[in-house]
Structure 1
Amino acid sequence: MNPQLIFWVPAMLRLLLVVIGAGVVWAFFGAAAGLAAALLAVTVLVFLQLYYLNRLDRWLDNPESEKMPDGWGAWTDVFSRLYKMRRNDERHQAELAEWLARFRQAMSLLPDGVVIMDDVLFLEWCNPIAQTHLGLDLERDKGMRVTNLIRHPDFMDYIILGRYEQPLTLTLRGRKLVVHLIPFENRRQILVTHDATESERIDMMRRDFIANASHELRTPLTVINGFLEIACAQPNLEVATRQSHLKLMSEQGQRMQNLVEDMLTLSRLESTDFPLRREKVHVKALLEQIVREADALSGGKHKISLTVDGPDIQGNTEELRSAFTNLVTNAIRYTPAQGKIDLQWQNTAQGPQFSVRDSGIGISREHIVRLTERFYRVDKSRSRETQGTGLGLAIVKHVMLRHQGKLVIESTVNEGSTFVAQFPASSVHCDNG
């Protein structure tokens, strides 16, 4: 039925009843009584309308569907329609609140910072990553102008100039951030922050690696090419001189080969294409072989001892051979003649560990944290004398990471160093049966 008819028909019927009632009173009690009866009936109807208007006004101040008033007459339909509208509105609000909660949860899980602002840059919401990147606090800073919260000059210029086509790169709170402002809707803007610190560090390490590798390869190539030029220019060199040149070229060629092999080993250890292949590692036999090789490298100049008091483990024998050999070789290279090198394999509360303790030159504290970096050298001139590639400890570090272990370094200048390869307790090999 037409809503207008629903409203007007009852109203007209009520007026008709008032007129009929007043007419009846008029007929039996006279004109004055009839008019009085009509006036009273109209007064009651007006009072009822005002009463329901007042109830509607109070409900509109707090429009909850549970508090919807009941009505009489046409007000019954009015309140019924208002109740349906309110219920639909509450349902839509609940859906919007749910979507907003999902949106904020999704934004909170993003690896990038997200800041939502209005058209005049007042903060409306930000995720935890943005708070970390920009030093914001949503509870404290909500409703404040973002340019008053982030006082970096480059950021201020970026905002004022309004050149949002290209992102802004700036250093803030010890991080390198890539910031991009994205206008959306008519009265909203999104500020996205990306932490490029780690990628920048990786790029720098890659550049340093290429530069250092090029430098390490260029030196022996320069020596070899120099001697070859001499040999071509002076074909009648003395036999002793020629033999000396050939020996030096052979040494430099071996140096290049060692460097290339270490770079390939390190690349393989870092690659996800070569997962760790575990097997039973016979640690005692492995360390005894390494000690024999160490004695040959030392040429009897050092006192090398081995103590094996630990179990076999699960791991990759060749990778552990490379790691342990690098630790022992470093000890020989940086320990003066007649020095002591103690090798020990033992089981501890934390798990099995291999320690190499020497009485060498030692390392100062500021260098220890960087020893496992590629091509890092405490003393470049001494490293050239020892013929190291600068990749040995980097290889040890990555081997230990692949075995869920860690490398611990302790050292005192002029007293010696201790390198400990610590394995987890779960790596101990258990024989079945």
Structure 2
Amino acid sequence: MNPQLLFWIPAALRLLIILVCAGVVWAFFGPLAGLSVAFLAVTALSFLQLFYLNRLDNWLDSPESEKMPDGWGAWTDVFSRLYKMRRDDERNQAELTEWLARFRQAMSRLPDGVVLMDDVLFLEWCNPTAQSHLGLDLERDKGMRVTNLIRHPEFMDYIILGRFEQPLTLSLRGRKLVVHLIPFENRRQILVTHDATESERIDMMRRDFIANASHELRTPLTVINGFLEIACNQPSLDSATRKAHLKLMSEQGQRMQNLVDDMLTLSRLESTDLPLRAEKVNVRALLEQIVREANALSAGKHTISLTVAGPDVKGNTEELRSAFTNLVTNAIRYTPAQGKIDLTWQDTDEGPQFIVRDSGIGISQEHLARLTERFYRVDKSRSRETQGTGLGLAIVKHILLRHQGKLVIESVVDQGSRFMARFPKSSVYYENGQL
């Protein structure tokens, strides 16, 4: 039915009832009484409308669905429809509030910074990452112009020139940031920041690794090719010279083999496709074998002692053998003859640790932080003499990381060094719930 009819038919019926009642009174009590009844009825009906208008006006000051008044007559339908509209609005508002909370939560967890601005670059919102990248504070800086908050010449030029097709790379607050401004809607812009510091560092490490590996391989290859050229051009070399050349070529070939083996080991340790398969590691038996090999390498030139006072651990035996052997081998290589090397396996409050202490040449403090870098050498000439590849401590570091451990180095020049492989308490192996 037409909504207009639904309104006017009840209103006409109420007026008709008033007229009928007034006519009945007129017939029985005279015209004055009939008109009085009609006047009072219309007045009461008018006051009723004003009463509900007042209730509607009061409700509009605080339009909550729970406070919606009840009505009579046509007001019943009016209040019912208003109640439905208000409930729909509250439901939509609740959904929008929930979506906004989800959006902000999602934006807050992004690794990239997000800044929302209006068309004249006034800050509206930013996530915590953007605050960290750009030094912003949402509570303090909201409503301020972003170009007044980020006073960087390259950033200012990027904004002024308006060439937003390509991102901007800049150094800010000790980070390498990639900044991209994205206009959206008619009066909004998004500023996205990406921290490329770690990627830049990894790229630099990769470039250095390739350069260093190429350099390390070039030297033995040059020696081998040189001797081969001599052998081809001078076939009448005497036996002693030929033997010496073959010996040097063999040494250089072994050096290349060691280098390739260590690079493959590092690549394998860094691979995410190689999970650690933990097992019980008999530390005493492992260290006793390493000591026998160390004595053979030292050939009696050093005094090597072993103290085992710690528990067995969970881990990969072969990986730990490689890590411990590298530490012991380094101590032998860099400790002069008649020196002492003490190996200790002990338990501490933080967890078990393996200590290699030597009376060697020691290391300057400025070199300690870089010792685990690939191909980093304190003394390159001495490292070549001892057949080191420059990858041993890098291998140790990665093995310990796979076992949730860490390498700590202490050293004093001309007094010796102490290398400590520390493991967490959780690495201790328990047999049937007991140590």
- Aligned pairs for 1:186-265 (under 5 A) are 186-265=186-265
Secondary structure of 1:331 counterpart: helix
Question: 2:175 maps to which residue?
Answer: 175
Deviation, structure 1 residue 323: 1.0
CA distance in 2, matches of 1:423, 1:224: 43
Partner of 2:348: 348
Structure 2 gap segments, 5+ residues each? none
Once the two structures are TM-superposed, the CA of residue 220 in structure 1 deviates from its matched residue by 1.1
Residue 331 of structure 1: how far off its partner (Å): 0.9
Structure 1 residue 10: deviation in Å? 3.6
| Mapped partners of 1:145, 1:135: distance in 2 | 14
1:69 is matched with 69
Counterpart secondary structure, 2:323: helix
| Shift, 1:243, TM fit | 2.8
Task: Provide the residue aligned with 1:425 in structure 2.
Answer: 425
Letter in 2 for 1:343: L
> Counterpart of 1:274 in 2: which secondary structure?
coil
1:31-430 → structure 2 map (5 Å cutoff): 45-430=45-430
SS at match of 2:280: strand
Task: Supply the AA of the counterpart residue of 1:412.
Answer: V
Cα deviation, residue 355, structure 1: 0.8
Paired with 2:38 and 2:387, the residues of 1 have a C-alpha distance of: 120
**Deviation for aligned residue 1:24:** 7.4
Secondary structure of the structure 2 residue equivalent to 1:58 = helix
Instruction: Give the Å deviation of 1:427.
Output: 3.2
Residue 268 of structure 1: how far off its partner (Å): 1.2
Letter aligned with residue 229 of structure 1: E
Q: 1:362-403, CA deviations, whole angstroms, 9 ceiling, x for partnerless residues?
A: 122222122111111222233223321100001111111222
TM-score, normalised by the number of residues in structure 2? 0.89
- Higher mean alpha-carbon deviation, 2-11 vs 260-269, is at 2-11
Distance in 2, Cα, partners of 1:168 & 1:418: 46
- Equivalent-residue separation in structure 1 for 2:20 and 2:286 (angstroms): 118
Question: In structure 2, how many angstroms separate the alpha carbons of the residues matched to 1:205 and 1:356?
Answer: 28
> Amino acid of the residue matched to residue 70 of structure 1?
D
Moved more, 3-12 or 208-217: 3-12
Kindly tell me: are residues 10 and 428 of structure 1, through their superposed partners in 2, closer, same or farther at Cα, counting changes over 3 Å? Answer: closer
Following superposition, the deviation at residue 286 of structure 1 comes to: 2.5
| Change in CA separation of 1:9 and 1:363 when aligned onto 2, cut-off 3 Å | same
> 1: CA distance between counterparts of 2:348 and 2:325?
22
**Closer, same or farther: CA 193–10 of 1 in aligned 2, 3 Å:** same
Q: Secondary structure at the match of 1:341?
A: strand
Q: Offset of 1:45 from its aligned partner?
A: 4.7
Is the alpha carbon distance of 1:322 and 1:11 closer, same or farther for their aligned partners in structure 2, counting shifts above 3 Å? same
Percent sequence identity is 84
Give distance in 2, aligned partners of 1:30 and 1:354.
Answer: 118
SS in structure 2 of the partner of residue 125 of structure 1: strand
What is the letter of the counterpart of residue 105 of structure 1? Answer: Q
Taking the aligned partners of 1:134 and 1:116, their CA distance within structure 2 comes to 13
Instruction: Give distance in 2, aligned partners of 1:371 and 1:280.
Output: 30
3-state DSSP of counterpart to 1:97: helix
Structure 1 unaligned runs (5+)?
none
